[in-house]
Amino acid sequence: MKLPVIKHLTNFIEENDQDYVLETIETLEALTEVLSLKDEELDVIGEIISNLYGAVEVDKMIKEGTPKKEALNSFMKRVLGSIDN
């Protein structure tokens, strides 16, 4: 996951609608079922999906009242904490 990408996607959600991102996630998840995809291609799709889910989670925190910068930092700390364990 990359914070600049999640931040950009969070801005996209604010300017448009979260449904666009959720539909993109569904589309990309459906693509992962294509048997002819190479591992590298699946890795890229997986990374994009992770960033999209991250933006949805950050958007949720913002809507619950957390300031954007704090929501982004909190989310990334949580992600990094789960990697360390």
Q: Report the predicted TM-score, pTM, of the whole model to 2 decimal places.
A: 0.89
What confidence score (pLDDT) does residue 73 get? 92
Give dist(CA 31, CA 71) in Å, integer: 30
The backbone torsions φ and ψ at residue 2, rounded to the nearest 5 degrees and listed phi first, read -125, 125
pLDDT tens per residue across span 27-80: 999 999 999 999 999 999 999 999 999 999 999 999 999 999 999 999 988 887
How buried is residue 73: exposed, middle or buried, by Cβ count under 10 Å (0-12/13-18/19+)?
middle
What confidence score (pLDDT) does residue 7 get? 95
Indicate the SS3 state at residue 16: coil
The Cβ of residue 35 has, within 10 Å, a number of other Cβ atoms equal to: 4
